[in-house]
Structure 1
Amino acid sequence: MRPHLALIEDDTDFALMCSSYLERAGFTVRWAADARAGKSAMHDGGIDLVVLDLGLPDGSGLELLRALRSTSRLPVIVVSGRGEETDRVAGLEIGADDYLVKPFSQRELVARIRAVLRRSEPPDVPVVLEAGALRVDTAAHRATVAGVPLALRPKEYALLELLARSPGRVFSAEQLLEQVWGASWQPSATVVEHVYRLRGKLAAVPTPAPRITTVRGFGYRLDP
């Protein structure tokens, strides 16, 4: 799956350059141009890491970081033109995972992001997801409904696991293509076909099973 980044940066040209490079490097980027939009982006449950500029037009990046650290350990890399030792120390002491002084190369930014993401990964503990009668064993890559195994192809399993991680959440076809197939440019018919097959296999189980609901105009969700 492509890591999702929040880029909080008020310099439009710099933000567009970073976003373009990061997208090509395999990330999905959500750009916020001020502190207000940045706060919303940081609290989006789908964000894996924040790249945060300190000089924002409507507030301090450090205050934004301080507020985030009161409730979350979401990884944050500060990027700033403030290169003095006191600024770097302040950012790190408040809770930044790394501090990068402008100007810097985009390759270095990508390397720093990947390093922080590696450090923040939780231990590889097997997880069993449950949604109603559905159980998905992520270690065994096996799904059952009321104990009845589902015979799933690899992409069918990956699609079901993603939906089961967030029951009730609506995923667009583009999000599913991006997170399951790693390529949002594929035709949406790919998702339609796999959802159709998954529905058939869930319906074939001789016991009430969760269903995949189409939310017209938005996407799909798993209803336990």
Structure 2
Amino acid sequence: MSAPLVTILDDEPAVRDMLGAALEEAGFRTMGFARAREFEAALRSAAPDVCLVDLGLPDRDGLSLVHRLALESGAAVIIVSGRGQVQDRVTGLDLGADDYIVKPFEPAEVVARVRARLRRHTGPEAGGETARFAGWTAHFDRYTLEDAEGAETPFSHAEGEVLRLFLESPRRLMSRAQIQEALGGAAGESFDRAIDVRVSRLRTKLREDPKAPRLIKTIYGAGYIFLGDVEWS
């Protein structure tokens, strides 16, 4: 099996070189891009496992690219940006990013975050690629939810991480701290907000009543619990 591929989209050559060297030393393959146009062209033939994306791109709004990657790509998306305000982090995570790293950073931190994303996505703890529950089938190999009639609704990598976590631990209360530890995100207001957004989107895709959800329950002050029987294959 070939090493995981990490793409680096940043218009600063020094940043691309630094990240590329650190990731390759850690055993990853890398591809670097200075512009979104080049990166999007490469996606036609390359299938990265993790995408590192700077928001300050010369030819494209980085946030819109993050949103597209989250919806259309099977890759994990990590923002690496000089924008360090809480609202910037919240917006990036709301749009589907899996993690947010603020410049300046230590290369070792980025390598650790990349490893955390890949462990969660492909680690041995994963129950399988297909889960059936309450008339739904979650296909984690193609990021879709299939209803009883066969209609499919796509979900993002970030939403899939949360869904898999719930489906691997049905009928078990999970605190925010446990979710943070399992998903490897940075603790804080922006991470909590991102989890709330992902849960809300999953409820919508599962056609849940937001005032009285049947499957993903909020236990106020404690966390979330998934109420349903799950069969993996």
Report the counterpart of residue 35 of structure 1 in structure 2.
36
In 1, distance between residues paired with 2:68 and 2:100?
Answer: 18
2:48 counterpart SS class: coil
**Higher RCO (C-alpha under 8 Å, 6+ residues apart):** 2
Contact 2:49 2:74 in 1 (8 A): no
1:88 counterpart SS class: helix
Contact 1:6 1:41 in 2 (8 A): no
Contact 1:7 1:31 in 2 (8 A): yes
Report the counterpart of residue 120 of structure 2 in structure 1.
119
Report the counterpart of residue 51 of structure 1 in structure 2.
52
Alignment of 1:99-178 (within 5 A): 99-121=100-122, 123=126, 125=128
Q: Which amino acid aligns with 1:76?
A: V
* Structure 1 residue 65, shift from structure 2 partner: 1.1
2:72 counterpart SS class: coil
Per-residue CA deviations over 1:31-57 (Å, capped at 9, x if unaligned) read: 111111122344544311101111111
Q: Which amino acid aligns with 2:19?
A: C
RMSD over aligned CA atoms reads 2.1
* Structure 1 residue 72, shift from structure 2 partner: 2.6
* Structure 1 residue 30, shift from structure 2 partner: 0.5
In 1, distance between residues paired with 2:87 and 2:116?
Answer: 24
TM-score w.r.t. the length of structure 1 is 0.53
Q: Which amino acid aligns with 1:111?
A: A
Q: Cα 1:43–1:62, aligned 2, differ >3 Å: closer, same or farther?
A: farther
Q: Cα 1:44–1:85, aligned 2, differ >3 Å: closer, same or farther?
A: farther
In 1, distance between residues paired with 2:61 and 2:15?
Answer: 18
Q: Which amino acid aligns with 1:101?
A: V
Unaligned runs of 5+ in 2: 130-233
In 2, distance between residues paired with 1:43 and 1:70?
Answer: 16
* Structure 1 residue 76, shift from structure 2 partner: 0.6
Contact 1:39 1:64 in 2 (8 A): no
In 1, distance between residues paired with 2:90 and 2:43?
Answer: 22
Q: Cα 1:2–1:69, aligned 2, differ >3 Å: closer, same or farther?
A: same
1:30 counterpart SS class: strand
Report the counterpart of residue 17 of structure 1 in structure 2.
18
Q: Which amino acid aligns with 2:94?
A: E
* Structure 1 residue 71, shift from structure 2 partner: 2.0
Report the counterpart of residue 91 of structure 1 in structure 2.
92
Report the counterpart of residue 3 of structure 1 in structure 2.
4
In 2, distance between residues paired with 1:114 and 1:43?
Answer: 24
Unaligned runs of 5+ in 1: 127-224
Hey, which bits of structure 1, 4+ residues long, moved more than 6 A?
Answer: none
* Structure 1 residue 69, shift from structure 2 partner: 2.5
TM-score w.r.t. the length of structure 2 is 0.51
Contact 2:69 2:77 in 1 (8 A): no
Report the counterpart of residue 64 of structure 1 in structure 2.
65
In 2, distance between residues paired with 1:66 and 1:34?
Answer: 17
Percent of paired sites with the same residue: 43
Moved more, 96-105 or 63-72: 63-72
Per-residue CA deviations over 1:106-148 (Å, capped at 9, x if unaligned) read: 110100000011112273649xxxxxxxxxxxxxxxxxxxxxx
Q: Cα 1:45–1:12, aligned 2, differ >3 Å: closer, same or farther?
A: closer
Q: Which amino acid aligns with 1:87?
A: D
In 2, distance between residues paired with 1:15 and 1:119?
Answer: 25
Q: Cα 1:40–1:28, aligned 2, differ >3 Å: closer, same or farther?
A: same
